[in-house]
Amino acid sequence: MPDQLPHLLRSDALDNRERILEAARALFGANGLDVPMREIARRAGVGPATLYRRFPTKEMLVVEAFAEQMRACYAVVDEGLADPDPGHGFTSVVERLCELHARNRGFAAAFVSAYPHALDFAADRARALESIAELVRRAQAAGEVHPSVVLDDVILVLMANNGIQSRSAEAAVAASRRFAEIALKGMRPDTGHR
């Protein structure tokens, strides 16, 4: 019978887990994925052994830390697919993903690189990218996106957006919005005006 009961964490273990995830989100968000695990443990106020007991690999920590952001990414893409105006749906997705990534550098790095052994994250990322590719096709069919644009172009925009450096989160978001606007202009069909 005990084998059939779900494994529940003690309240102190649950608190440690949440502190580890909060520290990881903050450090990955500010500094990208190169933050050492020991720094995450220190920031969380736990020992390295506690961190590794909960998250044996950095990959596992990244996947868990960004699960909520991945859901937010899906929501953005799903809303774009549901938009009856394919051009607006595509534009909205690029703008909102750039902003989401500007707010969290770690998530941006995780999203565009995906850990090869984190099957859930890689599968989720593949699903999001397939949906973005569908948005590109729909916008092209509506004449809103240049026929030469491919999914890799959108990924390149997201990767370039991740390179935006700024003194504050607000400034990073403002720069990201401007960058998305410029990138989207470059993806529009030729108008014949130069």
Reported as a pLDDT band with limits 50, 70 and 90, residue 78 is: very high
Q: Give the pLDDT of residue 9.
A: 56
pLDDT in tens, 10-40: 777 788 999 999 999 889 877 778 899 999 9
Contact 112, 158 (CB under 8 A): yes
Q: At what angle do helices 86-103 and 119-141 cross, to 10 degrees?
A: 140
The pLDDT, as a whole number, for residue 1 is 43
Residue whose entry in the numeric block shows the structure tokens 């960058």: 179
Average pLDDT, the chain: 85
Question: For residue 5, what pLDDT is reported?
Answer: 40
153 close to 137: Cβ distance less than 8 angstroms = no
Reply yes or no on whether the pLDDT at 151 is more than 50: yes
Residue type, 119: L
Going by pLDDT thresholds of 50, 70 and 90, the confidence category of residue 192 is very low
| pLDDT over threshold 70, residue 119 | no
Residue that wins the pLDDT comparison between 72 and 187 = 187
Domains of the chain from N-terminus onward = 9-65 (1.10.10.60), 67-187 (1.10.357.10)
| pTM (predicted TM-score) | 0.76
Q: What is the pLDDT of residue 111?
A: 67
Distances (CA, A) of 44 to 25, 37, 51: 11, 11, 9
